[in-house]
């Protein structure tokens, strides 16, 4: 079975880098938007009988990128692909993995069902907001993590006087993982979300006084969580500056101004979403292409995949 890599329009540079690592060119396809707003896709290269991988993060514009991903998977199947795997380096809607208030939808479940509806055989994802999203997927998931890459970039910036900070309770497990590997203590900021872009802090658990904060989270969206956490740890006596590591750097809305005001030394994110303008922010992007290419290679060749489950 031949191997074919397809790219949507969300992040063709990453898809191309993955394809090149696998010694392939991207399969040609045309993406067009009809005057009424509909997305139209057409695979012009041949994928008949192939093992097809569609690379597309569902980053902003989320709905357009999601529908493109679904249409490409469907087009691949209808063009005779033997197996279709979606490679989703950032899985939008994963934060809607549970209902916080009555009347809400379970967005992550709906997206998982849509992948099933177009008969996706397998999903490759990176650092899902919640590992529980796997339970919504009808097909097997290969869940990969950018954490080893983030750690490598962070290591030279983390001295013995640092503290790993979870900016909310949801990131506590991740912070424990960073803390254990870096041999550093961990603190947790007690955050409550007030709206999609506003958060409130109720305090900090753990000792941060005199220490340099290393804040870790799965994603930076509007920057509100990091901004509030930096303010809280500084109020608790942490040193100015500090470093942030997050798998997904979306930097939407007021993120750039918020993070600039936080006076951070470095913001390390993975390149699973396309880079947006971040002005003078000290952003470093670690490259997911080798990890994604290796995962595809393993799946394609049928070799055993030995990445440990994230929830362990």
- Show which residues are catalytic: 191
Q: Is the Cβ–Cβ distance between 274 and 59 less than 8 Å?
A: yes
Complex with ligand R5P: residue 195 or 312, whichever CB lies closer: 195
Please tell me the distance from the alpha carbon of residue 236 to that of residue 213, in angstroms, as a whole number. Answer: 11
DSSP letters along 138-176, please?
Answer: SS-EEEE-SHHHHHHHHGGG--TTEEEEESSGGGHHHHH
From 52, 271, 310, 20, select the one nearest 149 (Cα to Cα): 271
Interface pick for ligand R5P out of 224, 242, 249, 272 (rule CB under 6 A): 224
Q: Shortest gap between Cβ of 225 and ligand R5P (angstroms)?
A: 3
Three-state SS at 228: helix
Interface pick for ligand R5P out of 59, 96, 145, 222 (rule CB under 6 A): 222
Q: CB under 6 A: which stretch of 60-68, 70-78, 109-117, 213-221 binds ligand R5P? A: 213-221
Cis previous bond, 61, omega within 30: yes
Q: Shortest gap between Cβ of 129 and ligand R5P (angstroms)?
A: 6
* Side-chain-side CA neighbours of residue 309 (13 Å): 7
> Is residue 254 a contact point for ligand R5P (CB under 6 A)?
no
Interface pick for ligand R5P out of 223, 242, 249, 272 (rule CB under 6 A): 223
Q: Shortest gap between Cβ of 163 and ligand R5P (angstroms)?
A: 18
Interface pick for ligand R5P out of 86, 221, 271, 295 (rule CB under 6 A): 221
Complex with ligand R5P: residue 50 or 175, whichever CB lies closer: 175
> Is residue 220 a contact point for ligand R5P (CB under 6 A)?
yes
Q: Shortest gap between Cβ of 183 and ligand R5P (angstroms)?
A: 24
Element holding 266 (H helix, E strand): strand 266-270
Q: Shortest gap between Cβ of 137 and ligand R5P (angstroms)?
A: 20
Q: Shortest gap between Cβ of 248 and ligand R5P (angstroms)?
A: 9
> 152-183: buried (b, 16+ CB within 10 Å) or exposed (e) per residue?
ebbeebbeeebbbbbbbebbbebbebbbeebe
3 forms beta bridges with 51
Using CB under 6 A as the binding rule, the residues of this chain from 161 to 200 that contact ligand R5P are 167-168, 170-171, 197, 199
From 258, 232, 212, select the one nearest 168 (Cα to Cα): 232
Complex with ligand R5P: residue 25 or 192, whichever CB lies closer: 192
Q: Is the Cβ–Cβ distance between 242 and 282 less than 8 Å?
A: no
Interface pick for ligand R5P out of 225, 247, 271, 295 (rule CB under 6 A): 225
Complex with ligand R5P: residue 54 or 255, whichever CB lies closer: 255
Could you tell me how many residues of this chain bind ligand R5P (CB under 6 A)?
Answer: 16
Q: Shortest gap between Cβ of 166 and ligand R5P (angstroms)?
A: 9
Three-state SS at 187: strand
Complex with ligand R5P: residue 94 or 299, whichever CB lies closer: 94
Please tell me the distance from the alpha carbon of residue 117 to that of residue 238, in angstroms, as a whole number. Answer: 49
Using CB under 6 A as the binding rule, the residues of this chain from 39 to 58 that contact ligand R5P are none
> Is residue 218 a contact point for ligand R5P (CB under 6 A)?
yes
> Is residue 97 a contact point for ligand R5P (CB under 6 A)?
no
From 272, 278, 307, select the one nearest 58 (Cα to Cα): 272
Q: Which residues bind ligand R5P (CB under 6 A)?
A: 95, 167-168, 170-171, 197, 199, 217-225
């Amino acid at each position: 079975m031949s191997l074919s890599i397809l790219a949507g329009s969300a992040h063709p540079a990453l898809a191309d880098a993955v394809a090149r690592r696998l010694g392939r060119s991207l399969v040609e396809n045309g993406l067009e938007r009809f005057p009424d707003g509909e997305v139209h896709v057409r695979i012009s290269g041949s994928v008949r009988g192939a093992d097809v991988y569609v690379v597309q993060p569902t980053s902003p514009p989320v709905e357009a990128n999601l529908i493109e991903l679904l249409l490409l998977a469907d087009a691949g199947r209808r063009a005779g692909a033997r197996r279709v795997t979606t490679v989703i380096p950032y899985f939008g809607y994963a934060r809607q993995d549970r209902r916080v208030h009555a009347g809400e939808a379970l967005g992550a479940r709906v997206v998982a069902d849509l992948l099933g509806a177009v008969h996706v055989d397998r999903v490759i994802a990176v650092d899902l907001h919640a590992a529980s999203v796997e339970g919504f997927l009808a097909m097997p998931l290969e869940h990969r993590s950018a954490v080893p890459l983030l750690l490598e970039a962070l290591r030279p910036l983390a001295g013995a006087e640092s503290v790993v900070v979870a900016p909310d309770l949801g990131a506590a497990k991740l912070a424990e993982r960073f803390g254990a590997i870096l041999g550093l203590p961990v603190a947790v900021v007690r955050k409550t979300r007030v709206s999609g872009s506003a958060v409130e802090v109720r305090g900090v658990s753990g000792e941060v006084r005199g220490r340099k904060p290393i804040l870790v989270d799965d994603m930076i969206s509007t920057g509100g969580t990091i901004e509030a956490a930096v303010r809280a740890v500084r109020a608790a006596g942490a040193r100015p500056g500090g470093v942030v590591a997050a798998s997904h750097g979306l930097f939407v809305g007021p993120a750039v101004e918020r993070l600039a005001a936080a006076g951070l030394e470095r913001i390390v994110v993975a390149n699973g979403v396309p880079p947006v303008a971040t002005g003078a922010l000290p952003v470093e992007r670690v490259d997911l292409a080798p990890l994604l290419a290796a995962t595809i290679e393993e799946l394609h060749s049928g070799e055993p995949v030995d990445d440990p489950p994230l929830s362990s």
